[in-house]
Amino acid sequence: MANLKDLKTRITSVKSTQKITKAKQMVAAAKLRRAEERATEARPYTQRMEAVLANLAASAEGNPNAPRLLAGTGKDETHLLIVATADKGLCGGFNSSIVRLAREHIVKLQGEGKKVKIITVGRKGDDQLKRLYESLIVWKANFLETKQIGFANAHEIAEKVLAMFKDEEFDVATLFYGKFQNVVMQVPTPQQIIPAVAPQGVETPELKGAVYDYEPDEAEILRALLPRYVAVQIFRALLENVASEQAASMTAMDNATRNAGEMIDKLNLKYNRARQAQITTELIEIIAGAEAL
């Protein structure tokens, strides 16, 4: 049984930890509001671009001159996985859930005899994936020194991915990130970005019998639009990740603060019982000594 000094030291230590987790929770809550706003503000632009892509892709279907970013290489042998996580921890299972989804995808692809390459965005995802798949990681990106994620960060990643596709280093690229739903729910999400596939459920404008007349033609517009589409999807994923990370961090630190409070209560109870037992023992010894005289 721990003595009184040890118990008091543990109580002091847990109280210090509780102060840290409470401060971290408040910081995450403050950052979450802005991160959620940025992620929400980016969604209409992304959705509109998806709708435009859906229209153009439908009109360009079967066109032999369709861009390779839309038509693909004609093969399905090499897959590039872009796994976007956070650079920092203390955010519950946020990073692990994204990495787990990517691992499941890797196992499935390798089981089908496909070749897999990985780009990691975020230090935590890289740390977890390199334990099993270090040989598959071809490029790493992290933004530890970046105060606020911007389009330039997404553009850097997109340029690398597009250069690899131009050099025929892969056939299909899939992006993994955590989609922000609300404070308590962040959904690990895979999205194929090359060849570009318009997500299901995208609402296209009701033309009421009218037709689009493109100038230049659809293929030329797609050639200019698709590289930006890739960058926009990566940017959206980064913004969703930032909001999801802060929400997960706030929830995890709230749980840690409450757990520390419960531990302090238990330690205080244990300390009081030990102190009472010590006092009782001393009284018994005093009484016994007095009777012996």
CA–CA separation, 198 and 209 (whole Å): 22
C-alpha distances in Å from residue 212, one per residue of 48, 154, 157, 209: 16, 31, 33, 10
C-alpha distances in Å from residue 87, one per residue of 106, 161, 262: 22, 20, 30
Nearest Cα to 165, choosing from 47, 270, 73? 73
C-alpha distances in Å from residue 280, one per residue of 17, 248, 269, 273, 286: 33, 48, 16, 10, 10
Length of the chain: 293
CA–CA separation, 231 and 105 (whole Å): 22
Known catalytic membership, residue 69: no
Choosing from 60, 91, 232, 250, the catalytic residue is: 91
Q: Which residues are catalytic?
A: 91
